[in-house]
Structure 1
Amino acid sequence: MAEMTTPEKQNGKSFQKKKIIRVDMTPMVDLGFLLITFFMLATSFSKPNVMNLGLPAGEQESGTVIDVRNQITFIIGKNNRVFYYQGEKKDLNTNVLKETTFSSSGITKIIENAKDSAPKKELFTVIIKPTDDAKYINFVDMLDEMEITQSERYGISEISDVEKTVYQEKIK
């Protein structure tokens, strides 16, 4: 603990009594480690937000061709805009490419209606194509919509030249 020494005489001369205090810091180190351990165990660390992404296996299923009636394509554009179409790329024009919103009456309803009208509901696929102008938050919102609508089959692809041309005409 603490120890005090008081020299009274030195070389035969009497000096004023000075008290020298020496504090033993060993118990303080132990206390410090106990406090660190307590706070590490008592603190709840923030858990990272993780989204489960169902990625395809290494090999593709052979012989599975998805009919255009079993799929819907969403194009994520700039300024929080999202467009969709259901059909062949060769038939795509500004009248076929329709705009929707991220609201509950937007993408969710469109996916549910398309899934209900699909001939093979177990093969229904949503294709997501973000443009270069799209924001990351809109892409995450689209993945959230896949979770909300319980769409297990979805793909992320690059936008083709035909789609890009029609998209550019649509946003003008």
Structure 2
Amino acid sequence: MAEVIAQEKQGGSKQRKKLIRVDMTPMVDLGFLLITFFMFTTNFTKPNVMDLGLPAKSPHPPKHVVDTKNQVTFILGKDNRVFYHQEAAEDLNSSNLKETNFSGINITKIISEAYNKAPKKENFTIIIEPTDDANYKNFVDILDNIAISKKERYGITDIKPWEKKVYEELTK
């Protein structure tokens, strides 16, 4: 605790004056304790977290397959390139795997055109397939464009071998 030391001053006057001196050493310790407390309890930056609502993994995979007319597939490639198609495995080739850019207008337009052509709009699904060369920013951009287009059914999966073959033909 702080100590108050009173000293009497000797002098020729009739009143004795007391000098008061407060020892401030414990206050320095208290100041460092407060600084340490606030440093440990303060958040310096808020974490940037993207909420992905992923379903629980089922031991029995679904038996139904999304029809190619009820889906659009985006392939995220290297060098900020994005390709899309609505074809089955046997129909996909380098002429119908189309390329676009990450402009929100283009991707939203592609999604809305595919949605309007879908025979069962309640089953319309957007499939995102990032390649090993894709970067995280492009993945976030495509998710943002899906949110802008207000489509809630989307899936994220690995690129299929038959799609990878056509993709590699176009990127050579």
TM-score by length of 2: 0.76
Query: How many aligned positions are there?
Result: 156
Q: Please state if 1:56 is matched with 2:58.
A: no
Distance 1:160 1:37 in 2: 53
Question: 1:147 aligns to what SS in structure 2?
Answer: helix
Q: Following TM superposition, by how much is the alpha carbon of 1:25 offset from its aligned partner in structure 2, in angstroms?
A: 1.6
Percent of paired sites with the same residue = 51
- Structure 2: state its 5+ residue gaps: 7-22
- Matched residue, 2:139: 139
What amino acid does structure 1 have at the position aligned with 2:144? D
What amino acid does structure 1 have at the position aligned with 2:156? I
- Structure 1: state its 5+ residue gaps: 5-22
Retained in 1: the 8 A contact 2:75–2:131? yes
Q: Following TM superposition, by how much is the alpha carbon of 1:81 offset from its aligned partner in structure 2, in angstroms?
A: 0.5
Would the alpha carbon gap of residues 44 and 162 (structure 1) be closer, same or farther in structure 2, given more than 3 Å must change? Answer: closer
Question: 2:105 aligns to what SS in structure 1?
Answer: coil
Distance 2:149 2:50 in 1: 15
Retained in 1: the 8 A contact 2:92–2:163? yes
What amino acid does structure 1 have at the position aligned with 2:49? V
Deviations, residues 35-66 of structure 1 (Å, cap 9, x unaligned)? 5556777x664221111112123336755432
Would the alpha carbon gap of residues 118 and 61 (structure 1) be closer, same or farther in structure 2, given more than 3 Å must change? Answer: farther
- Matched residue, 1:19: none
- Matched residue, 1:16: none
Would the alpha carbon gap of residues 134 and 92 (structure 1) be closer, same or farther in structure 2, given more than 3 Å must change? Answer: same
TM-score by length of 1: 0.76
